[in-house]
């Protein structure tokens, strides 16, 4: 595979992209750079477009043993994410594919059609023990390419057929398309949806998460899901110190008004290549705040850009981290978002009578 070429490159034109560069991943032995070769030839800039390739999945469920996570298994319908959120902690996973965590992550996407059939097989295994499956924990299952690929819908259809509990995290409006699946899952106590809102400022949102739905549109998704009877949690994630942290309370209030019944938050974390990409973005869009933001980030992580230790990576430590937790606790109590969530049911799980007979039962 050819190694990605860093940008800026005069022959490449960006439109609504989060990253500004495409440095090779940490496993690549070499870097390549574009340079002026001295030829006096005019080149028309080429718009950098999204490319989608297909992977035949060998497994569907990924297991983890992290004490920081409330689930031990997840499914990833896609690799990479067109939303292009500059802060996305999943960007470094593209390095395992010999692709860049920069622009490649948001332009060279991998769909996994057929994963629902693999999931069907795994759920039928005699050794399988049911517990909630998380979707959207790595890349967004309702990113724009889902409209054509429909991988997420296939996965949900299978989970409904098995009466399997599922927790979903997304920024995408395509979740509304699947209300015909989510409503019966919710009626059985088998699902809840988390909607991520980072800011209410449409200008900041468009710069920071360029191809994700606007904050107002995400609030509308919360309202629609809630009115349909689907439990919704607002996820204020990430809170960026010196840039969006002042919006914690307004976001929680707006989400509660829209119908959210629970909330969570995560402070900005910058693992591996994400740190350099985020700092490059800061220098481009908010140079006057870049030093303040990174100083605060390092204060939360023991002087480093990121501390990956369990128990610290999501919230950080120190004065600012403690202040944010206190503000969150007060705000969720004020807006009625502090009620404990009813655990998703596991007692209804049962395989359909035959593979592919996915909706052949009465709700």
- 145 lies in some domain: yes
CA distances for 311 relative to 68, 191, 316, angstroms: 6, 26, 8
pLDDT digits (tens, 9 = 90+) for 98-152: 898 989 999 999 999 999 999 999 999 999 999 999 999 889 999 999 999 999 9
Task: Give CA–CA dist 137/141, Å, rounded.
Answer: 9
Phi-psi region of 98 (alpha: psi -120 to 50; beta: other; left: phi over 0): left
Of 270, 255, 359, 269, the closest CA to residue 321 belongs to: 269
Q: What is the pLDDT of residues 223-277, one digit of tens each?
A: 999 999 999 999 999 999 999 999 999 999 999 999 999 999 999 999 989 999 9
pLDDT exceeds 90 at position 9: no
**Whole-number average pLDDT of the chain:** 88
Q: Say if 33 falls within a structural domain.
A: no
Which residues neighbour 88 within 8 Å (Cβ) at sequence distance 6 or greater? 18, 81, 105, 139, 274
How many domains, in total, are found in the chain? 1
Q: Which domain holds residue 130?
A: 12-26+48-268
Percent of the chain with pLDDT over 70: 85
Cα–chain center distance at 234: 13
Please say whether the beta carbons of 115 and 151 come within 8 A: yes
CA atoms in the 13 A half-sphere facing the CB of 71: 21
210-218 average pLDDT score: 96
CATH number of the domain to which 199 belongs = 3.20.20.70
SS (H, E, C) 147-161: HHHCHHHHHHHHHHH
Determine the distance from the C-alpha atom of residue 150 to the mean position of all C-alpha atoms in its chain, rounded to a whole number: 17
331 lies in a domain?
no
* Torsion of the alpha carbons at 215, 217, 220 and 225, rounded to the nearest 10: -100
**pLDDT confidence of residue 15:** 72
**Residue 177 maps to a domain:** yes
Task: Tell me whether residue 39 is in a domain.
Answer: no
- Structural domain includes residue 344: no
pLDDT of residue 26: 59
Judge whether 56 lies within some domain: yes
The residue among 218 and 308 whose pLDDT is bigger is 218
How far apart CA 97 and CA 28 sit, in angstroms, is 10
Give the SS3 label for residue 245. helix
> Is 363 or 155 the better-scoring residue by pLDDT?
155
Q: Is residue 325 part of a domain?
A: no
Q: How far apart are CA 156 and CA 90, in angstroms?
A: 22
Does the pLDDT at position 50 exceed 90? no
Q: What is the pLDDT of residue 219?
A: 98
* pLDDT tens for each residue of 323-343: 999 999 999 999 999 988 899
């Amino acid at each position: 595979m050819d190694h990605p070429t860093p940008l800026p490159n005069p022959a490449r034109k960006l439109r609504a992209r989060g990253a500004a560069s495409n440095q090779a991943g940490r496993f690549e032995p070499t870097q390549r750079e574009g340079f002026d070769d001295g030829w006096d030839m005019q080149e028309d800039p080429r718009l950098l477009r999204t490319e989608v390739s297909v992977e035949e999945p060998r497994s569907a469920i990924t297991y983890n043993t992290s004490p920081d996570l409330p689930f031990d298994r997840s499914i990833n319908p896609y690799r990479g994410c067109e939303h292009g959120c500059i802060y996305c902690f999943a960007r470094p996973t593209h390095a395992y594919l010999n692709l860049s965590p920069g622009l490649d992550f948001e332009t060279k996407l991998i769909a996994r059609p057929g994963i629902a059939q693999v999931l069907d097989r795994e759920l039928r295994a005699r050794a399988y023990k049911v517990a909630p499956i998380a979707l959207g924990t790595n890349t967004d299952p309702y990113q724009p390419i889902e409209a054509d690929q429909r991988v997420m819908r296939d996965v949900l259809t299978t989970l409904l057929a098995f009466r399997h509990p599922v927790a979903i995290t997304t920024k995408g409006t395509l979740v509304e398309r699947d209300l015909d699946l989510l409503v019966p899952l919710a009626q059985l106590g088998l699902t809840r949806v988390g909607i991520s809102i980072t800011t209410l400022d449409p200008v900041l949102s468009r710069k920071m998460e360029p191809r994700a739905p606007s904050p107002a549109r995400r609030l509308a998704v919360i309202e629609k899901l809630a009115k349909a009877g689907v439990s919704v949690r607002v996820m204020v994630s990430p809170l960026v110190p010196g840039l969006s942290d002042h919006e914690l309370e307004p976001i929680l209030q707006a989400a509660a008004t829209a119908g959210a019944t629970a909330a969570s938050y995560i402070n900005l974390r910058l693992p591996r290549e994400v740190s350099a990409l985020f700092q490059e973005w800061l220098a481009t869009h908010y140079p006057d705040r870049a030093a303040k933001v990174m100083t605060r980030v390092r204060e939360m992580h023991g002087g480093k850009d990121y501390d990956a230790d369990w128990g610290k990576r999501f919230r950080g430590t120190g004065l600012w981290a403690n202040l944010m937790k206190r503000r969150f606790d007060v705000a969720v109590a004020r807006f009625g978002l502090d009620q404990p969530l009813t655990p998703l049911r596991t007692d209804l799980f049962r395989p359909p009578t035959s593979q592919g007979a996915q909706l052949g039962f009465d709700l």
